[in-house]
Amino acid sequence: MFARNRRIIGKINLSKLLSTRNFTTSNSKYTANSCSRTKTHPIDDSAKAIRHLQFITRLPFEKGLQIQEQFAEAQLDIKELHAKIKRKLEKFNEEHANSTINETESKILDKILAMKPNPIVLTFEFNPTYTGGKRVKKTMTPERVAQFENFVPCVNSCDVPPTFVQVERGGQVTFHGPGQMVAYIILDLKTFDKFPARCFVSALEEAVIRTLNNTPIDDQKNTLNIEGNLQNETGVWTNDGKKIASLGVHVRRSITSHGVCINVNPDLSYMTNFEMCGLPDVLPTSIKEQRPEVNVLVQDVAVKFVNELANVLGVTIVERMQLDDMDLEK
């Protein structure tokens, strides 16, 4: 499911983006076998297409977090508007049992209730950043933060020092930086069939496993063929017991945020600087370490992951836009 991407040079405003037709559409035709491997399927028309915003220049982590928050808040605002309208209609029907609203008002309300945003996937490559999840929020000390921010990697190929940011996802300490593909998934779980948060996490893990196996490495249809495995902790591991992808999600009123980080070709010393997943014996790995002879880019993995996630969700359309940056609304 590959689309010809459309690139927007420079910055674009969120409101303009949500109303624009700058997305490139890709339709995917599945065989019966691939359909049977989906984890769920859309039960609302708004969920039948995924919008992929592919940021192709490296950004500060905080900027990516702000972009994600604006999309998540937009979904939550629309959800709250729908709830208010439904409550008002219920109250009207209770107080005026023999009355109806006029046809014009009814059409306007129907149009508002039909306004639901598509699932959004934002993919990034960030400047080096350590992020703390909810499980370390109360125990993180200034001394530990200083250790993260003063760390010098083995290769030291990035001229930007690492920062530490506390976030509202699940999990413990995670690293995001150059050579990693970070995907934030913003969707309404209730627009998919029988899809609670635990199934959403399972779907993300499955999409990562398929990405590691199916990402093309040449024009002869050869793929990475890296076998990903699951363990008791969330995330994806390779056959040698090393962790190649981290997961952490946040759910508010069934709207998801945060998501997945896949190690493509980062400096792994950033990740041996701390205890991954709170487990002292966990070591990181990457696509580059597992397949040193191939040259796979972060953007290749971003495109493949979103396509595989669509497969898992039973979505047949991916609309993709490439961006350098985005202006945030104030």
What residues are labeled active site? Answer: 277
Residue 166 near residue 174 (C-beta atoms within 8 A): no
Residue 239: both structure tokens together: 């056959």
Strand duo 255-263 + 180-186: pairing:
antiparallel
The DSSP result for 217-262, as a single string, is -STTS-B--PPPB--SSSSEE-TTS-EEEEEEEEEETTEEEEEEEE
Which amino acid, residue 206?
E
- With 0-12 CB in 10 A as exposed, 13-18 as middle and 19+ as buried, what is 208? buried
**Contact yes or no for 61/163 (Cβ under 8 A):** yes
Count the alpha carbons within 13 Å of 24 in the hemisphere toward its beta carbon: 14
Within the chain, residue ranges assigned H as helices are: 14-19, 32-36, 61-95, 103-114, 142-149, 197-214, 287-290, 298-313
Question: What count of other Cβ atoms lies within 10 Å of the Cβ of residue 169?
Answer: 18
Instruction: Give the whole-angstrom CA distance, residue 127 versus residue 149.
Output: 12
Locate 313 and state its tokens. Answer: 């969700």
Residues with Cβ < 8 Å from 137, sequence gap 6 or more? 166
